A and B are shown apart, each in its own frame.
Chain A
Amino acid sequence: MFTRLKRLYRNTIFRLSMIAAAQFALLSLFMLGYIYYTTVVSELNRVDIEISSELEDFAKIHSVLGPNGVHEQVILSMLPVRDSLYAYSYQGLPTGNLESLPPFSDNGKYNFLATLFGLNNLNARTFVYSPFSDNDDTTNIGVEKKTTHRARGQYIKLAENEFLFVARDVERLMVKSERITRSLIIAMVIAIAMGLLSGLFVASRFTRRVGRLNKLATDVRSGDLQRRAPRDASGDELDVLAEHLNDMLDHINHLMQAMRYAGDSIAHDLRSPLTRLKTRLESAAMETKDEAVRDTLLRSSDDASELLRTFESVLHIARLETGDRRELLLPLNPKVVIEDIAELYEPSCEDAGLDFALEIEGKHMVRADRGLLSQAVSNLVENAIKYTPRGGAITLRLRKIRSGRVEISVTDTGPGIPPDERQRVKERFVRLEKSRTLPGSGLGLSLVDAIADLHRAKFVLSDGPGGPDSRMPGLRAALVFPRMKKT
């Protein structure tokens, strides 16, 4: 889970959509603030001003008419406007529609917050009171019947022991603004969630498409030059990238074919003069009476034969690669092929001081060409004999692997092939540094690969079981055949 999150975090598109979601959240926060200010704060300021001017009026009334005048005015003002609240205490005699004077305390923090929110009148306070439970109270229509209401009020001291508190019920305003705030917060949460989801969706889609391109690159690198990137005809950047990649691969393929064709042509054209050279050397060897000269001539002829064999192998591989012979493959029991090869090479193994084992499990059928299959297995066995030091072991095995496919493998206890070289050794003329001194043309495994390809079989090289010499991992060369279709 953690690694998945980490991987997701590394995804470009996901990161971009997260940034977009965060930007949206910030914008909503800003909008929320703005709307709150315009609806609530400015309204509260207006209420504050109204209260202040009313308090000024009361102050004037007090100076002219005294406490009784204030008392009368409070009663008069109380009657018509239902959301106006008053509390007047004169020598312990309370008047007004507020049961008691709300407790006030001067508090610096509050002032700071009030300023921050943009409230101008720092003497005014927001407080909570319980209105008279009046069922036909028309002022609060649309507001849930609450036992407490919020109100905004301010008081003045008219004289010693004479306080007047004037307030306005702001419950309706507050409820409205709360509703706006709540819906804005919900919208914000939804937006962030949507951003997250679409980010995930787009990111996974993008990752999948980029993943396909990456897979293509690794496939091509491992030798499958025929692979092409899938196109979706959308014409977007990735599709265009896929097109360019495909064009590039076509071009590389074309170049490689041209190179191979040139090589094949050379091999083809050199065969006739080489054959003549060889024939000439042979007949000269037959004619001469001088033993030393004859020996030289015969050895030269052997060299010519080796060259010819190399050319033959190149052309053979080239012919196999065209895949023309694929239709000629017939269902056959590989057991017979394997047994024949085992019989052919067992004495060679014995002479080379190697333990030879043949393991055949179960009955199998594959679609194959007997000659080509024999040649491939023979090449693998010869390779094993060539590279495995005396005292080692070679196992030729035919079995069904877990996927139900038929596998023919040759395992030895030789030096093996390092993992990063395993693909390369299947190429033509590639020989590993340590095998350069041994005879061979570097075409053996290429031929096996070409034969495997013709049979649509996989040619897999891996470490062997490890031999008596622990520095040698051994080599396991396996041909894995595709399952035979029932026809």
Chain B
Amino acid sequence: MRILVVEDDEIAAEYVRKGLMEAGHVVDLAGDGELGLEMAKSADYDALVLDRMLPKRDGLSLLSELRDDGDSTPVLILSALGEVDQKVEGLRAGGDDYLAKPYSFAELLARVEAMGRRSDPTAAVTKLKAGDLEMDLLARTVKRADQKILLQPREFRLLECLMRHAGKVVTRTMLLEKVWDYHFDPQTNVIDVHISRLRAKIDKEFETPMLHTVRGAGYRLQV
């Protein structure tokens, strides 16, 4: 993926760049809002990581300008203001996802990669497939190697989220947001408990496990 990071904190920007590059992405940096807007307009990026507070032009204004221009590049907004209302404000301005500072790099990476997928036209499908795992979104059924698997409604949504990002890391925070719509981090391993239940249903009777835990990051559904 070709990613533009607009961030004025040079040290943070450099680490984000390095991390994204290590994950196999091409990264450009912009240190202020004006430069960021110029670069975003001039080149075709797959994703934008945008700090909300920027010198010269703030992140939200940059974003509206970009959207007014008809640019639909997915944008991840970074902000020190972690409250939910600010998040809503950011998403309303045209952001695709929102990450509050301080964030962990794994979280940022997972979200950027998820965003890149989201812009794919596959989002409207009614059937998801990952390896020998199949999900029918209309009939609400799941099959692995043609064997029917019965899931609770929440487990279904959990698996759906993992399958939509198959092969990519999905963080616990992302799962909480997308599956439970909670924007706080529980202090306990409550998500791990749900994952292990799901794992028992989709992996237990099969030779190759699909649902993997990624240390320090989250989970990945391996195809």
A binding-site residues for B, Cβ under 8 Å: 271-272, 274-276, 278-280, 282-283, 285-287, 298, 301-302, 305, 308-309, 311-312, 315-316, 319, 325, 328, 340, 343-345, 347-348, 351, 371, 374-375, 378-379, 382, 385-386, 439-441, 444
Contacts and interface: CB of A to CB of B under 8 A. Distances in A.
A345 B186 CA distance: 11
A109 to B, nearest CB: 95
Contacts of B85: 325, 328
Interface of B: 9, 11-12, 15-16, 18-19, 22, 80, 82-85, 101-106, 154, 180, 182-190, 193-194, 197, 215-216
Counting from the closest, the 7 A-B pairs by CB-CB distance are A275-B102, A279-B15, A375-B184, A298-B216, A282-B105, A347-B193, A308-B102
A385 B188 contact: yes
Nearest to A306: B187
A279 B80 contact: no
B185 A343 contact: no
Contacts of B16: 279
Contacts of A274: 102
A280 B104 CA distance: 10
A275 B83 contact: no
A374 B182 contact: yes
Contacts of B193: 347-348, 351
A441 B188 CA distance: 12
Contacts of B189: 348
A466 B11 CA distance: 54
Contacts of A285: 216
A347 B197 CA distance: 8
Nearest to A383: B187
A286 B19 contact: yes
B146 to A, nearest CB: 28
A280 B16 CA distance: 9
8 contacts: A272-B102, A275-B102, A278-B102, A279-B19, A283-B22, A309-B185, A385-B188, A444-B187
B219 to A, nearest CB: 16
Nearest to B100: A312
B101 to A, nearest CB: 6
A312 B189 CA distance: 18
Pick from A274, A282, A305, A315 the residue with the most CB of B within 10 Å.
Answer: A282
A340 B16 CA distance: 35
Contact of A275 (B12, B82, B188, B215): B12
A31 B82 CA distance: 84
A276 B15 contact: yes
A76 to B, nearest CB: 122
Contacts of A440: 187
B80 A283 contact: no
B101 A275 contact: yes
Contact of A348 (B82, B185, B190): B190
A275 B103 contact: yes
B19 A371 contact: no
A340 B186 CA distance: 14
Contact of B188 (A279, A282, A386): A386
A157 B154 CA distance: 130
B186 A378 contact: yes
Contact of A278 (B80, B104, B186): B104
A312 B186 contact: no
Contacts of B215: 298
A302 B9 contact: no
Nearest to A340: B180
B27 to A, nearest CB: 13
A340 B9 CA distance: 39
Nearest to A297: B216
A276 B18 CA distance: 13
A378 to B, nearest CB: 6
Contacts of B216: 282, 285, 298, 301-302
Contacts of A344: 180, 186, 190, 194
A278 B102 CA distance: 9
Contact of A371 (B18, B101, B183): B183
B197 to A, nearest CB: 6
B180 A319 contact: no
A271 B18 contact: no
Given A275-B103, A344-B186, 13 more contacts: A271-B101, A276-B12, A278-B105, A282-B105, A283-B18, A285-B216, A286-B19, A301-B104, A305-B104, A309-B185, A340-B180, A344-B190, A371-B182
